Amino acid sequence: MRGLIGHIVTLVVASGLALNAWTSEDQPLGDEGERVEVWGGKPDQVEYLAFEDDKTKVKLEVKNDEQGTWFVATSDKEVTAPKRGAHGAHGAHGAHGDDEAKTSEAPAKGKREKKRFVAVTAANKLLESVAPLMALRAVGKIDKKRDEEFGFDKPEGTLKVKVAGQEHSLVIGGTTPGGADRYARTGSGEVYALSGDVVQDLSYADSRLLERDLHGFAQDQVGRVKLESSGKSRELLRLEGKVEGWADIAAADKQDETAGNWMTKLGRLRVLEYVEKLEKPPGPESIVARVEYYDEKRRPLGFLELVKVKGKGDEVDYYARSEHSRWYVKLLKSAAEPLEQDLGSVLK
């Protein structure tokens, strides 16, 4: 009996250890514990990042200038058209209602949409997460029979990163249990569990990485501006303790509400879309205004150039270019037009 009990205890312990080892791969992944290096490198050694799946191709090319690191992003993705519903040309109850209903069940054919744009802040953060690339944990090599279990039977895409002249590649599998992290496999067959943010940022680069701010500095860093338009110029000082309070340099203690309102509207401008090159280089007659920004010690922070371009008929479009945007960006007319209309009262 004692021998039998001993065998039973040994069997229970062994079964428990085996179960723990088997299920440990399926536990939700957290941020606790040491991470595992997939590949090394430093952010300033990255040359490009790319991601491709069956609908999307994204590439980020690294650029550097006096302002720092920025990126030219190219996104080429399939945009799914709306399905033909039962209330189409003939309607669900029309003469061809049955045929129409069958058509509505088929997926609509999408079209390709290609965009090129500038990425800065979010892309720089992404850069830090890929060089070095640290995994949440290493799974190791898995048998091909388990590909479906890890999502490698139908991979969700391929991630490529070039660091210091060497290209690294990962096949992206499915999500890990209990979270949005992803399984990824190297060319040598090693499997890792990675944070899903890298894949998400690249998959939706045109919304998650596109830089929408016109400046890399905060508005409260600005202490002085120089405004120029049509041969006229004016310098404004920020009133101490008032983020939206501005005064003329000749009357530094007297708040100018008109100038302050104009500066507030200027600070609210956001990028609508990037234009790598305008069809026609803007001449002096197209420049609505140029604003140069300085800190309290009169050190330059950046600039903004507001441009108006005539379109068809009486239509006009507004664009801006800054030290942060690098390229021209299209602006909402409803946000840019009031700036031009109010210039006369500011440059009095």
How many Å apart are CA 284 and CA 305, to the nearest integer?
A: 11
pLDDT digits (tens, 9 = 90+) for 285-313: 899 999 999 999 999 999 999 999 987 77
Contact 113, 79 (CB under 8 A): yes
Residue tagged 């049509």 (tokens): 230
Which residues touch 287 (CB under 8 Å, ≥6 apart)? 229, 305, 306, 307
Copy the structure tokens of residue 46.
């990255």
Amino acid at 191: V
Using only C-alpha atoms, the chain has a radius of gyration, in whole angstroms, of 29
Give the C-alpha distances (Å, rounded to integers) separating 137 from 17, 58, 143: 20, 26, 18
Q: Residue 126 gets which letter from DSSP? A: H
Low-confidence stretches of the chain (pLDDT beneath 50): 7-9, 11-32, 86-104, 107
The residue behind tokens 């399905």 is 83
Distance in angstroms (rounded) separating the CA atoms of residues 185 and 173: 8
What is the Cα–Cα distance from 130 to 39, expressed in whole angstroms? 8
- Provide the pLDDT for residue 221: 93
pLDDT at residue 200, as a whole number: 93
The strands making up 273-275's β-sheet, listed across from edge to edge, are: 246-248, 232-238, 224-229, 287-294, 300-310, 316-322, 328-330, 273-275
pLDDT at 126: 96
Cβ neighbours of 4 (radius 10 Å) = 8
Q: What is the pLDDT of residue 163?
A: 97
The CA–CA distances, whole Å, from 38 to 26, 132, 178 equal: 20, 8, 22
In this structure, which amino acid lies at residue 113? E
Which pTM value belongs to this model? 0.80
Return d(Cα 231, Cα 275) in angstroms, integer: 27
| Under 8 Å between Cβ of 56 and 209 | no
CA 319 to chain centre: 21
Q: What is the model's pLDDT at position 108? A: 55
Quote the pLDDT of residue 262.
97
What pLDDT score was predicted for residue 318? Answer: 97
Count of Cβ atoms closer than 10 Å to residue 185 Cβ: 22
At 111, list the tokens: 């079209």
Q: Give the C-alpha separation, 157 to 204, whole Å.
A: 13
Domain architecture of the chain: domains with CATH: 36-208 (no CATH), 219-346 (2.60.40)
Helix (H) or strand (E) holding 162: strand 157-163
